[in-house]
A and B are shown apart, each in its own frame.
Chain A
């Protein structure tokens, strides 16, 4: 898998049709045998031209993926945002200890006294606390748990 591009594309990298594709396709596609065909008509393209453009957009790193967005929680499993205050002189060692746990899905360094933020993904809810306890024992540092209490509907779309 290619690593994620983290720099902006040149301003002329996308034409108006590319932008229309990026804007329209963030909304859901219909689940039917030829999902691109109806969409292509909407964008005044033919099916093959649309698919070719999506492939090119993927190639230049304008899109990260195309497909179903799964709700990990709806599939079963437990997730929890966690934070730690890690002394600067121990930061790299603690990164190694924390990341060694397969339950740690994402981990970010952030600008705050609580400078390490990660997500635990476990099969069962009780394993969240157990994993956090293990990380506390291994690092000697407290792990704060910030479980999701309510998730708000999101209308976020990137305008290309």
Chain B
């Protein structure tokens, strides 16, 4: 029930551009975003709810700083898992509370691993213990595994908006 002449997609892009850095910490944050954009609070809330319903917004929440809270070690664990069982096993690994990302990806020459799971812990020792938990969960359905620790961030940019529509 948008009452403005601006197309929904254009409004959504403006809301996204205004909020990729976060929402203002004020009692009525959506009213403030609306002020920035010359929209009404109702429209901003309505469009953000629509984007949440369609999956563009995963959730509106607070992102803790893992490092500040002591989770200073992380490793990209990789597993060579039987194809027939990969979807089932991946779902179990993704549900573990210490796994922050979990994907199936193609294998490559010299790279037998298809299941990727990012593990977070307070130390590398802890990450290795958690990795052993995944190994136990996968059991004989996993042929081999490895873990890659990041030693340096070489580049980190924020989300780059895809401009100009389709």
Closest partner residue, chain B, to A76 (CB atom): B162
B55 touches A74 (CB 8 A): yes
Q: Please indicate the chain A residues that have their CB under 8 angstroms from the CB of B52 in the complex.
A: 31, 68
A5 touches B67 (CB 8 A): yes
Q: Are B102 and A149 interface neighbours, CB within 8 A?
A: no
Q: Known interface pairs A74-B55, A109-B151, A155-B97. Does A149 touch B22 (Cβ–Cβ under 8 Å)? A: no
Per-position binary interface string of chain B over residues 87-121, scored 1 when its CB falls under 8 Å from any chain A CB and 0 otherwise:
10011011111111111111010110000100010
The docked-state distance in angstroms from the alpha carbon of A146 to that of B71 is: 26
Q: Are A65 and B22 within 8 A (Cβ)?
A: yes
Contacts of B120 in A (CB 8 A): 156, 158
Contact check, A70 vs B90: say whether CB atoms are below 8 A apart. no
Q: Contact: B93 with A152, CB < 8 Å?
A: yes
Tell me whether B58 and A35 are in contact (CB under 8 A): no
Interface of B (DSSP majority class): mixed
Of B48, B56, B68, B97, the contact of A31 (CB 8 Å cutoff) = B48
Q: Are B22 and A108 in contact (CB under 8 A)?
A: no
- Interface digits, A95-122 against B, CB 8 Å rule (1 contact, 0 not)? 1001100101111111111101110010
Q: Are A28 and B59 in contact (CB under 8 A)?
A: yes
Complex-state Cα separation, A117 to B27, whole angstroms? 41
Q: What sequence of 0s and 1s flags, for each residue 3-41 of chain B, a beta carbon within 8 Å of any chain A beta carbon?
A: 000000000000010011111011111110000000001
Checking A31, A61, A68, A106 against B65 with a beta-carbon cut-off of 8 angstroms, the contacting residue is A61
Contact B94 A65 (CB under 8 A): no
User: What's the tally of chain A residues with a CB closer than 8 Å to chain B?
Assistant: 82
Is A123 in contact with chain B by the CB < 8 A criterion?
A: yes
Q: Contacts A29-B61, A51-B27, A147-B106; is A70 near B159 (CB within 8 Å)?
A: yes
**B45, CB-defined interface residue at 8 Å:** yes
Give CA–CA (A76, B25) in the complex, Å: 28
Q: Are B97 and A156 in contact (CB under 8 A)?
A: yes
A136 contacts the other chain (CB 8 A): no
A67, CB-defined interface residue at 8 Å: yes
Q: A70 near B61 (CB under 8 angstroms)?
A: no
A55 beta carbon closer than 8 Å to chain B = yes
The 5 closest A-B pairs by CB, nearest first: A152-B94, A28-B59, A67-B22, A25-B62, A107-B154
Would you mind naming 11 contact pairs between A and B with Cβ atoms under 8 Å apart? A26-B63, A33-B28, A33-B41, A51-B25, A62-B69, A66-B63, A69-B63, A106-B157, A108-B152, A109-B150, A117-B150
